[in-house]
Amino acid sequence: MTTSADLLELSPVIPVVVLDDAAQAVPLARALLRGGIRVIELTLRTPAALSSIERIAAEVPDIVLGAGTVTAPEHAEQAARAGASFLVTPGTTDRVLDAVEDTGLPFLPGAATVSEAMRLAERGLTALKFFPAEAAGGVDHLKSVGGPLPGLRFCPTGGITVDTAPRYLALPNVGCVGGSWLTPKDALAAGDFDRIEALAKAAAAL
């Protein structure tokens, strides 16, 4: 079974996806796979999110399917029931963390400060999401955190681009980055899945 630590090793980039139309979910997942990206974080930011997760889980079993933007306890159960195989939170409250742990799924809890990261480490959690990465200090922040907290590894997400991703990936405490640039809104709106495949190929090579 995939562990939380394993999530950081699946791909150099985890696509962070917002879908307004569940009909796009399966062709999007297939385009990412063709491009060499075998993991996706589908955010729970739209009414189409849960049905999108259901479709991908049923029709694209080769992709490791995560649900992101888990910000309430009920989100965790809903995402697990829809077929998500891991969960991601932008930040962490006790109630959300308990609900996520109760699903039994691997997860990446969000932390933006040293205190938040230490609190999660106290609960035995060592694979974390760093969000919002650029706004919260970016590469310099993670370099600084690596000294006092060498046992933690991160997936930074938020404001990262194909150009800045290599700077994060070069850090010893970064396993992967989260990026929304792989699935641009205009490409999704146009159904341009060839472009998404090409962006995935470039990201997989980072």
**How high is the pLDDT of residue 2?**
78
Distance CA 69, CA 48 (A): 14
Distance CA 50, CA 19 (A): 10
Contacts of 55 (CB under 8 A, 6+ apart): 22, 25, 26
Residues of the chain with pLDDT under 70: 1
CATH number, domain containing residue 108: 3.20.20.70
- List the structure tokens of 15: 């696509």
The string over 35-54, giving b where at least 16 C-beta atoms fall within 10 Å of a residue's C-beta and e elsewhere, is: bebebbbbbbebebbbbbbb
pLDDT in tens, 98-156: 999 999 999 999 999 999 999 999 999 999 999 999 999 999 999 999 999 999 999 99
Please name which of 165, 162, 171, 188 lies closest in space to residue 42, comparing C-alpha atoms.
188
Asked about 185 being catalytic, the answer comes back as no
Contacts of 189 (CB under 8 A, 6+ apart): none
User: For the chain, what is the domain count?
Assistant: 1
Distance CA 139, CA 145 (A): 10
- State which residues form the domain around 62: 4-205
Question: C-alpha distances in angstroms, 133 versus 112, 160, 179?
Answer: 8, 7, 11
**How high is the pLDDT of residue 148?**
97
Provide the whole-model pTM. Answer: 0.97
- List the structure tokens of 135: 């706004």
**How high is the pLDDT of residue 186?**
96
Active-site pick, 9, 41, 101, 122: 41
**How high is the pLDDT of residue 1?**
61
**How high is the pLDDT of residue 153?**
98
- Cα torsion 58, 42, 70, 103: sign: positive
Asked about 143 being catalytic, the answer comes back as no
CA angle 89, 90, 96 (to 5 degrees): 45
Active-site pick, 54, 116, 129, 201: 129
The length of the chain is: 206
The string over 110-122, giving b where at least 16 C-beta atoms fall within 10 Å of a residue's C-beta and e elsewhere, is: bbbeeebbebbee
Cis upstream peptide for 132 (omega within 30°): yes
